[in-house]
Every structure is written in structure tokens, then in C-alpha cells.
Structure 1
Amino acid sequence: MKCLMMILNKKGFDFLKKTLSFLLSILMLIATSVPFSSYAANEQQTSGSCGDNATFELKDGVLTITGTGEITSHPWCNLFETTNINKVIINEGVTVIGENSFKNCTKIKEAILPESLTGIKKLAFYNCNCLETANLPMNLKYIGQNAFKDCKALKKIELPEKLERIYGGAFSGCSSAKGALFLRKKLYIELYAFSYCRGLEEIYFEDGFTIDNFTSSRPLTIFNYCEGVKRLYIPPSMTRIEGALFNNFTSLTDITISEGVEDIGGFNNCTSLEKITLPKSIKNINNYAFYGCKELKSVKIQSKIESLGREAFYNCTSLKSIKFPYGVDSVGKRAFGYYETVDQVTQTAEGGTKEIKSEHKIKNFKVYGKKCKALTDYCKENGFTFIDMYDVKNATVTMKSQTYNGSAKKPSVTVKLAGTTLKKDTDYTVKYSNNTKVGTAKVTITGKGTYKGTLEKTFKINPKPTEITKLTPGSKSFKAYWKKKTTQTTGYQIQYSTYKDLKNAKTVTISSNKTGARTIKSLKANKKYYVRIRTYKTVNKKKYYSKWSETLAVKTK
């Protein structure tokens, strides 16, 4: 048995040896038949043709393209490694930059493009992550899909006037591009065109631009995560702001929304936005329009709202009240007055995590508005206070106290309702009563024009003041003399203290208005005292005081 195995092993070894020799011979034949140029196929070319009528030259890191028409090939690109190109110059005559022309040329810092250029095709500068400047010439008509995607060093995006279309993802991930973006009325924009452009600071739409200029049915993706935008201008022509167009603009503080805009949405989680003024043309505030705008404190609405969407102002934790001066036809669930908290995060059976959330009402939330069923029902169902902003009984009235002089007192009044100062004789009328003698006078405010209801308020008429005429020192005492006031007064009060600001002052009441002097005893010797006086009158067991006199000083003996 052992002998047989040895024979078989020897034969097997010989067979294996012959097979390997044969395969090695075949490989040597193949190798000698391949020309040398094939080994250099992946080496970077430094000159040659790159289009039907275009040539290139690469020298000292600068790629220069000359000719006419389209760049249709890119022989300077190595399939397996990035190139050594750091600058691209395309001379006049070239009209189109073809697909993938400079894709993954990660060392390019500058691209100089000719005025003859009309098109940049898809992926042309994709992932040129060192590209800082690329002038977009005035005759450019389109920028292809992902043409400048992930050009993370690009400093600015200046779109030329004649540009007609920006394809999907064209500038996506250009996170260093700063400054303003101007979008002209004839420009059409596709999905993700400016997503992750985190450095952009301002966006302006030219009048004539509409929501239909966003060719996608999901315009919310156009500006995904443009977190640096601070200012936004919406023209009259953009009558609708749909979906989540400007969601997560977390630096946004200044919005101009022009007259003409009718439907508004798309601002949820704009967490730096503190105030917004909606134009008179607004009819609908869409679902989730300002959801999660946690710094929003003021919303100015100047029109009747036909529809206030579901959770339109949900989770706006700084918004303590809201005003609808012309009413609302319908109010969606949790439209305002609610916020949400994450109480804890738990581990799921699948190994992920799950947030456990709670919903809360904003404490003392108030709704001001024109009385209408939609608002009153919403407030009643949700336990919020509704204040009719056209009923003057809900107004705040301020006026100054008066001093008796024998004439009827008619102080000017300031009437504010829901933050608006009303105009006398236009929005309300005023009537005074019991306003001649010292005591409490009454003012009646009656709504007028668009305002209704009545409100009664009171103001004080205080007695005339008096003044100290003389202070004479005595032994551990002083005597005060004053001008007597006998009309509409009951008596006097004297205050004295060793402190100039009358801290810890003591008060002496003189209950006869016919008295004109009083000695204050049991004081400290050789001590300076500060003294003042006022009148008072008792009406229906309530005292009304004049203002204090000038403070005088006296030193005891």
C-alpha cells in the first residue's frame, strides 16, 4: 500500500510540474505580444486632442485648452489617481465643457472659463475639492447635474444673467461659498441644486421668479441645509411658498415677503428667526409653516386668514401670543400654543434608539383677534385665552393723576388694544365725570368705527401741594412753618430724617388744614435733619395726597 501511494504521489508531482511549465510559457507569449504603450496607458498625457476642434496642453500644473466647440474627452485624467493640474485655462472659442471633464481633479484651485462658453455638462468639476474660483461667463445657459458638486473650497457662486437652467445637485456641497445668491426670473432650478451650501448668507429672488421655476415636485430639496443664510427676499411673483423650501435655515433672521405672496410655508426649524411680518396678500399659512422656530416672538398678520395649517406655529416656544386682526376661517390641530420636549432616549430591541416625547401647552398663551368661530372654538377646545381685539373692554388705558385747581380735569388718555394704539375720535370717544374735586374721577371710553364696547377707568385728583416757609432750630427739636391750604384739604404730613434721601424717615400727621406750624421734639442734639411736607384730603375714608414739597435742612441745638 505504501509503495502504491509513493508511485501515485510521484506521478502527480510530475503532472503538476508539466502543467505549471505550460502555463508559464503561455503568459510569456502574451507579455511579449503587448506593446510598450499599453503599460503607459494610465500615465497622464500632457498634450493632445480633447474634442473635434479642441486641443490641450498641460505644463507646470496649468492645463490650457484651445479651440472651438465642445470638450468631449479628458485624456489628462488618470482613471486611478487624481491629476497634478492646479489651474485650468479654457480659451475663447470653446462652447461646452463635456461630462466628467475635470471630475476628481482634486488639486485644481482655479478655473478660467471663456465668454464663448454656453454649457457645462454633468460632473464636469465634480469633487474638485480644492477649486476656489471659477468664473461663470455671461453667455452660459446651463450648468449640468452635479457639475460643481462637492467643490468644498469654492468661495462664491455668481450666476450669470443669461443662465437658463441649473440641473440637479449642480452646486451641492459647495460649503465654503459665501455671500449672496441672486436667482433671476428666467432661471429654472432642479433638485438639490444648492443643498449643503452652508456658507451662503443671503438669497434674493428676482421679481418674476415663481415656485414653478423649481422644476421638481419637491422644491424642499433645493436648499437643503443652507444653514448660514441670514437674509431672504421673496418677490411679489412668488405667490406660493410650498413644502419645506427654506427649512432648517438656522441662521435666518431677516425675511422680506412682498405683497402678492398668498400662501406661505417652508420655514420650519428656522431657529434664529425672531419676528416676521406677513403681507396683506397672505391668505393661507400652510401646515408646519413655522414649526420649531423657537426664537420667534412676534408675528404680524395683516389680512384675513382663510386657512391656518396644522402645527403652523407648533414648538415656537418663545411665542406667547398671536394676533389675527381680521379673523380666521379654519384652524388646524395644534396650530399654535403647543411645544414638545424629549423626556428620555431609550434603547430599542433592534439595537437603535427611540426618543420618548411629551407635548405641552405654552403657559398663559393668548390669542388676539377679530371674534370668529374658528378662533373661539380653537381657544375653547385647547384652554387658551381669546381676546377680542376690537372690543375696547380688553384695552389697556393709561392717564396721569391730576392736581386740584377748581376746574374740571380732562387728562389725555392712551388706549392700547392688542399692541395697537387707538386714535381718539376715530377708534373711540372719551367722557369724563366727577372730575372737579379732589378724589376719584371717572373716564368712559366707547368704541367707534371698527371698535366696539365700553370701558370705564378712574384717575385721581389730588390736593394742591404746600411748601415749607421756615425751619427754626430748638433744643433737640425744630419748628416747621408752611403755607396753609384750606381749600379741598383735610390736613398735612411732615416727614423728617437724618438722611438726605429721607431714608428711615418719620412721619407726623397734622389733622387740621388751618394749622401752619408744628414743633418736632425728642430729637438728637446738634444733628442735621432733612424735612419736607405735603397736604392730604380724606374722601370716603380714603386719603389723597399732594406731591411732596422741596426738602429743606435744619440743625438742632
Structure 2
Amino acid sequence: MKKRLRVLLVAVLLVIALMPMSAKKTYAQNLPTSGNCGTLLDDVYGSNATFTYASDTGVLTISGSGEIGSRAFESYTDKAQVKKIIIGEGITAISANAFAGLTGVTEASLPEGLLTIGEMAFYNCFDLDAIEFPDTLEEIETQAFYNDGISELDFPASLKRLNWDAFGAETGYGSITKVIMRSTEIEFAQPTATSYKIPNSLNTAGPIGGDYDYQFAWTTEIPAQAFAYLGVGENRYLTSIILPDTITEIGASAFSGQYNLDSITIPNGLKTIEDYAFYRTGLTEVSLPASVEKIGRQSFNACDNLTKVTIWNADCDIYDVYTNEMTIASQATIAGYEDSTAQVYAEKYDYTFDSLGEEPCSAGGEHDWQLVNHKATFTDNGYQECICSKCGKSDGIAIGALAVTITSLEQNSYVYTGKAITPNVTLANADGVLADNNYTLRYENNLNAGTAKVTITLQGDNFTGRKTLTFKITKAVNPFGAKGKTASVKYKKLKKKNQTLSVSKVMTFTKDAKDTKNYTLVSAKKGSKSFKKYFKINKTTGKVTVVKGLKKGTYKVKIKVKALGNKNYKSSTDMGVTFTVKVK
């Protein structure tokens, strides 16, 4: 029996001797050039994540898959020499305390695919002043970046859970100056640290894209505890927030404890204010629009500076279950309509009540219904609507006149006539052609050649709007016509000098467009003999010059005349004109 025990003991010792040395993580040793990123637990570790370390550059590179183990680098004595952490794709989680105490780290690169950053993962990385989160990140646990120097945070849309004390710090460390929250479905966890602080200078908040310290993507709901844990005690600096008009719900404790938040504009579409939404804030006066249907437990309680809450919904559901949990701070005045839930609540708990009078158009047929006719236009159908003149409520719509969809001119081009051109216009909708009394026409530039306009103005009980159509007026054919006359020249005068005949002496214009003419001498004859050298004609005025030395006789002079046209007439073709000159 003893022999068998000795054999078994030898076998066990042999197995232990053959175990690889890398299966143990030894305390008080420097970072090796490579190793495993398993969890430090009773000196035993194992992980699919491994690391390499370059001591000359201080770069720690993580590769592999799965998670980086808890306290993976805690035991290394020279961990403060690490300057940069590069985590490769495939790593999905950074466990608790994984890089805690790497006090010299100034830069950390996180991979796409990373889902979780665990508790105290980068704790006391004092010089880490910036971090870029991947678009896959879903959770950041408590104190993950505690005492780090990060000042700006841009959270991805994928983030589902955040513990604000992840960015807490002891006095003297860091200050958050900017936050961009892109996630619209996020849970804000209650901090677990008992004395954490978030040093910050976040004064303003509003939608992404605005000039705000804290920018968010929420469009319909402000999540529960959205701002409640952003700072502790004197480290709460939020003074103003702009809520989008589309917000319909403010979650539980959304702004709870923000002592310096002294004013807020509640959007008109808000419906629900959940429990403790503005508990212990610095609000001084609040106006809740008629859209607000519910005010939750202690929503405006413990607001020491609150002087007045105005509730415009006469039937608003105001939490009233436990008398020791007031919904509104006891010193505040409550304003509301007569016989409203606001008045009932105020009188029940001895608040000062400020009456807004009777609720407009309350039940009982007090609406003042008026039939309003919305006229049809060139693009939109008309409709009739019953609207209360007091509150603007609509009580049904009926289709009215249909939109005018057809507008046409008798024709689109005309020839100049010397008179104003007024083409007929046809207007119609789906019901047929419109009668003339439904519109007026005004013509412009419709006399001379060019582009003319007609402006159609809809009128009457059923139509409104204006539209302009254009049409062309083209130049007319030139009406130019002329015939020759007989002119006389005294021989005695001609013997001494040239004689001039005006154009009216030698021809008559039978039709004239009052445009410029062009004159050309063709011939001048007595019988069959040419005397052209004794006649000259001015090209533009048509004056005829008879040259000195011409003998007595009767001469036939032939010319060509062309009318050059003007703004309303085209140019004419050349016209031959023959006139007679008698020298006697």
C-alpha cells in the first residue's frame, strides 16, 4: 500500500514539474514582452486575449478575442511605464481593474466590437486626457475612468448603460467640459461610490448641434436620471437646458438635485412628468402647458426657490396618494383654472391658489363654432372647417373648391397689329371651366412686339392666388410702299450750280412704318441714253442731287428703296421706284 502511495506521489510531482511556467503570474515582476491577459486570481490566469509590450516605446498592444481579464496588469511593478494602450478588434470586454494603476498612460485606442468597459477598468490613469468610444460600446461601469484627466466625452448611439461615477474624481483631478450623448435608449445607473465627485463645468444643455456644453440626441423622451447624477453637491453646475419641441415625456428624477437649474421652458407637446423629475432643483417659476396630462410624485418638491407653478390643463393628473410626499414645494403658489384639478389640489393642501378664470371652451357647449372657408389656389384644394373662435379647436373639415389646375391662353404667339393684344384665358379645375367672375386679368407690355404678360388673380368666395402667363408678339411684315413723281429743275440755276430735290419732291410713300430707309440709284436716262453721272442720291435721306451741266430735257430716274424696319416691323424687300426730272 505504501509503495502504491509513493508511486502516486511521484507521478503528481512529475506532472507539476512538467507544467509550463507561463501558467503562473508572478508578483513583483516587470512586464514581459508578451503574455496572457487573463484574470489575476490566486496566481492563475487564462484568456483568449494576449499582449505584447515594447518597453522602449511604452506601447502595450492587446490582441486576440473575448475579454481582457480582471486586474490583468496589476502585478507588474513597471506598469506605470506604459504610455499607450492599443486594443485590437476581437476584444469585446475590458474587465474590472484591467488597466487600473497604469498611471503613465496618455492614450488608449478602443476597438470596434467592444461592448463593455468594466468597473475601475482605467482607474487612476491620471494622464489619460482623451478617449474615443467605438460605435459598438453598450456599457460603462462604475469608476471605469475614475481620477483620469478626460475632459470631453462623445458617447455613441449604441450605449445602453452608463454609471456617471465612471468619470468621477477626487479633488484636484480633471474637469469635464463637454458631453455629447448620441444614445437615445440609455439607462443611467445610480453611482456605487459613496463619495464620488464629477468635476465639471457643464452649464448648458440642449440638442446635438447647438452651442451647449451637454448635447443630447433625445427627441421624444428625457430618460430617467438623465442629469440627476451629473455631479454631486457643489459640483452641480447645470443652469439652463433647451428641450426640443418634440419632447413628450420627462423621465423619473431626470433633473433631480440640479440646484443651479433655475429656469426651464416646457415644450407645448409635453404630456408626462414622471416622479421626482425636478426634485431639489433651483427652479423659481414653472409654466406647464395644456398638453401636460400627468405630474408625478414629488416632481417639484424640495425646490426651495420655487414661487409659482402654473398648470394650464384643467384635468391634469397631479399625484396625490401620500400626504407626506407633496408633488409641489409647499411654499409655491399654484395657478390654474376654476374647478380644475390644480385648484382641488391647492385647496386640499392649503397652497395659495391663483385663479386663471374659467377654462376656455370647457364642456357644456361653450365653444363658439365658426365656419371658416379656406379658398382653393393654383396648387391646393380649398376646404371648409368648423373652428372655435375662442380656442382654435377644429371640429371637422369638408372639401371645398378644387385647385385650379388648368390655365391656358387662346394662343401663345401673335403678330403686331398696332393695337393692344388681349388673348382669351381659360381657367379650369376638376369640376370644369371657371366662370369669369372667379378671376380678373391684367395685361402688360401687350402693344408692341416682344414678350407680353397676363396676370391672373383668383377672387371671390372660393378662390385665391395669383399666376402670370406670358405670350409673344412678333414683328409684322413691313407695309412699305412708294411711287414716283415728276419734279422740275430750272436750267438757269442748274447752269450755275448743282440743284437738290428732297425725297418728297420725287416720290410719295403710299404706306410707311416710319422706319429708316435705304436709297440706291439704279439709272438715269433720256430716251435710251444714260445720264446717270448727272444724278446722285443720298443713301439715308433720299435727297436727289442734279449735277450742274445737265442739258434741258426730260429724264427718267430709277432707284431702289428699302425700309429697314423697327421694333414692330420687319425690314422690307428692295422696291423699285421711277420718277421724272424735267430740266427747263
TM-score tier, shorter chain, comes to: 0.3 to 0.5
* TM-score, structure 1 as length reference: 0.45
